[in-house]
Structure 1
Amino acid sequence: MSKKNPFVAVAMLCFAGLFLPAETHRISPDRFYTTFSAAHPPIAHLRPGDIVITKCLDSRGRDETGKLILDGDNVLTGPFYVEGAEPGDTLAVRLDRVRLNRDWGWNGIRITTDALAPETIEGLFPANCCDAWLQPGRRNALRWNLDRSHGTVTASRTLGERVKLEFPAHPALGCIGVAPPNKQAIDSGPMGAYGGNMDYNAMDEGAIVYLPVYEPGAYFMLGDGHAGHGDGELLGQGTETSTDVQFTVDLMKKHHISWPRVEHSDSIVTLGCMPDGIERGFRHAISEMIAWLTADYGLSPQEAHVTLGMTAELRVASWFGTFVCKVPKKALPEPTGQPFSR
């Protein structure tokens, strides 16, 4: 069977015997949500081929000016009702543009304890690092400076003396999905077959996202903008910030998929979820990397956690229980001791 790209020939649509041109919708939302659900009234009705230009708040509900619009977690823009979408179809969404629209974001400074080996947690440095500038009582959010002209993200203060906490910006969306099956309203925190909070750092500009349709109209939603983070979003945040987004929708009729898929120019990706499953296998690799960075590279514990959180590459080396945590050397100083250096 030949492969059909859903975006190849969507310049005109045949609708009730008439050719209707694809439209561009400029949407400035006046309401936002923290659940994926078909119970929310759509903010726009789209046809396959239509383009949407809109904005996403940051995960805490602040806009590009820093104003708090909705006090919640993983705040979503949408839903968008796609005409003709029916259960059993696949919704295809091309992320044409995902851009930062302000000059700051935030991260934690400590790897989530769920990602650490239990024996390494006792005596760990506190997560609190800062004044409660982001929200009342919250002291674990370090502000980061986003330089859009140079494409960098930089911690607003040092956490040690061995590395400069500056990394390439890589805007992406943490949340993207459709209304779940069975009339459910699911919080924007977890991930499931409908999409949700996937926190995949390559849900970026140019990606095509494929999602199974469970409700007529699909009820597509997106949000949780990130300025950059390593695999696993190990700090619990992805340099959270607001974003400008443009996307194009299309439909693959009677084309069933079971889990989200993502297509890039050079790869295809499938996503799945099993809470408390494979992450247990990564704990030793992640904890060992922190030990290596502090002992042999001289990073402070905070520098090690943040550097790992921003640059980690996590891989399954063997299905039978071997897991890899990788950090690029360009993010590190020279080691304090190195074999084969004589």
Structure 2
Amino acid sequence: MTHHILKATKDTVHLGGFSHVLTPALTVNSGDTIEVETYSGYYVYEQAPPEFMTPEFLDICKNLPPERKIAGGPHLLTGPIYVRDAKPGDVLEVELNAIAPSLPVGFNAIRSGWGALPEKFPQPALRFIPLDLTNNIAEFPTASGIKIPLKPFFGILGVATPDASRNSIPPGAYGGNIDNRELQPGSRLFLPIFVPGALFSIGDGHAAQGDGEVNVTAIETSMNGTIKLKLRQGWNLTTPIAETPTDIITMGFGETLDAALELALKNMIEFLERFADLSPEDAYVLCSLAVNFRITQVVNSPQKGVHGMLPKSIFSQKISLSSHIS
């Protein structure tokens, strides 16, 4: 196993989407670890305070090559990372070992026509929010005494598909803009692979976010992390699934919350059939008794997200995704 460092530069990031024709920023073997740097705020940098900018980020914003501008999404992603021997039908395990903001400030933006209440809040608005990285909090509004604990995570973790240009806003079977705040250090995300090499990209750092992400954004900020990428085989995975130290998480994405919930529920039933050896009906009942279904996000049009959380503590024997697949 090798440890890599992947800095974010104009040659190692891409903007707005995913593409299988992008030149990889890094090539790794299964089991390698990567220290990865990400930047956020490409479209707001001219309005940002000095502490939000670094010379490297400014170079990206001013000199990003046209071929690394993929689609119309707002996200600046680091990658793609090519994993040797990865092929369609395999599964990519993304182990999240460390995640931390790299700057003492983030931003929140209301976008006209977006969010859960676009008619009530039609005007765009941009706020930069100081981050107290020593005490791990953000006070908002300033001087209000309201202190939000920082729980940093990467909003986007995804692989390429056969599409040459796929917008970074909607999540899907490939992962992408999941915006699931449960994916903290110590978690693992499992993604189906669609193209050779997987072509994994990461970004959209969130210092703090509520379930739903209702006004379109979290506290968006540049984020560094350490991840491990590992290939898994023999598992016909069709949609992302995750494991935290305490829960198994299934996900559903749909144009309505009802559709997203239905898919997250079906994915949880399928998990319980396969990994807990339950009948479909018993799995359905257990979901009603013990699984917590939560709104992931309602703003990544056209896909809303729901995730189901199954507590691992209810099982008498240890249950783990990693131990059940090769």
TM-score tier (shorter): 0.5 to 0.7
Matched letter for residue 21 of structure 2? A
Normalised to the residue count of structure 2, the TM-score between the two structures is 0.67
Moved more, 63-72 or 232-241: 63-72
Verify the 8 A CA contact 1:64 1:243 in the aligned structure 2: no
Specify the code of the residue in structure 1 equivalent to 2:235.
Answer: H
Aligned to 1:176: 157
Could you tell me whether the CA contact under 8 Å between 1:98 and 1:204 is conserved in 2? yes
Aligned equivalent of 1:89? 90
Aligned partner of 1:41 among 23, 36, 43: 23
1:175 is matched by which residue type in structure 2?
I
SS in 1 for 2:190: strand
CA–CA separation in structure 1 for the residues paired with 2:174 and 2:260: 24
Structure 2: which 5+ residue stretches go unaligned?
46-50, 63-72, 262-291, 296-305, 307-326
**Aligned counterpart, 2:198:** 218
Secondary structure, aligned partner of 1:170: coil
What amino acid is aligned across from residue 61 of structure 2 in structure 1?
L
Pairs within 5 Å for 1:73-222: 73-108=74-109, 114-116=115-117, 121=119, 124=120, 127-128=123-124, 140-155=125-140, 157=142, 164-180=145-161, 182-222=162-202
Gaps of 5+ in 1: 1-21, 129-139, 282-312, 317-322, 324-342
Match for residue 276 of structure 1 among 252, 256, 261: 256
1:65 to 50, 53, 59: 53
Aligned mates of 2:234, 2:165 — CA distance in 1: 24
Q: Which has the larger radius of gyration?
A: 1
Opposite residue 167 of structure 1, the aligned amino acid is: I
Asked whether the 8 Å contact 2:36–2:225 carries over to 1, the reply is yes
Query: Under a length normalisation based on structure 1, what TM-score does the superposition of the two structures give?
Result: 0.64
**How many pairs does the alignment contain?**
244
Distance 2:260 2:31 in 1: 42
Judging by fraction of residues, say which structure has more helix. 2
Distance 1:280 1:171 in 2: 24
Give the conservation status (yes or no) of the 8 Å contact 1:112–1:235.
no
Q: Shift of the alpha carbon at 1:115?
A: 2.3
**How far 1:243 sits from its partner (Å)?**
0.6
**CA offset at residue 83 of structure 1?**
0.7
**Structure 1 residue 206, shift from structure 2 partner:** 1.5
